[in-house]
Structure 1
Amino acid sequence: MAHSIELLLDPDSDAAVRRMWAALLSDDLPSQGAHRSNSNRPHITLIAAARIDAGVDAVVGGLADRFPLTVDVGATVVFRGRRSTVARLVVANRELLALHRDLHHLAAPFVDGDVVDHCTPDHWTPHLTVARRVPDDQLGRCIAVADDAGQGAAVTATITGLRRWDGDAREDVELIGVRRDRGR
Structure 2
Amino acid sequence: MPDQALELSFDAASAGAVEAQWEALREVGLPSQADHKSMTNAPHATVVAAVAVDPAVVSVARDAIAPLLPARIEVRGLVLFGQGPRYTIAHLVEPERELAAAVARIRELVPALRHPVWTPHVTLARRVPQRLVPTAFEVLQSSETPRELIADRLRWWDPALELIEDLAAAPGD
* TM-score, structure 2 normalization: 0.86
Matches within 5 A, 1:25-174: 25-63=26-64, 64-82=66-84, 83-105=86-108, 108=109, 111=110, 114-117=112-115, 120=116, 123-151=117-145, 155-174=147-166
Between the aligned partners of 2:133 and 2:162, the Cα distance in structure 1 is 29
> Is 1:84–1:132's contact at 8 Å kept on the other side of the alignment?
yes
The amino acid across from 1:60 in the alignment is A
The amino acid across from 2:91 in the alignment is R
> Is 1:20–1:149's contact at 8 Å kept on the other side of the alignment?
yes
> Is 2:4–2:51's contact at 8 Å kept on the other side of the alignment?
yes
- Mark the runs of 5 or more structure 2 residues left unpaired by the alignment: none
Between the aligned partners of 2:128 and 2:162, the Cα distance in structure 1 is 24
The amino acid across from 1:116 in the alignment is R
1:167 Cα shift? 2.7
1:146 Cα shift? 1.8
1:55 Cα shift? 4.9
> Is 2:92–2:122's contact at 8 Å kept on the other side of the alignment?
yes
1:57 Cα shift? 4.0
Superposed CA RMSD in Å reads 1.9
1:20 corresponds to: 21
Between the aligned partners of 1:59 and 1:128, the Cα distance in structure 2 is 23
1:33 Cα shift? 0.7
Q: Deviations over 1:28-48 (max 9, x none)?
A: 110011012332100001111
2:167 corresponds to: 175
Between the aligned partners of 1:44 and 1:87, the Cα distance in structure 2 is 10
* TM-score, structure 1 normalization: 0.82
Three-state SS of the structure 1 residue aligned to 2:42 is coil
Three-state SS of the structure 2 residue aligned to 1:38 is coil
Three-state SS of the structure 2 residue aligned to 1:37 is coil
Three-state SS of the structure 2 residue aligned to 1:78 is strand
Between the aligned partners of 1:51 and 1:19, the Cα distance in structure 2 is 33
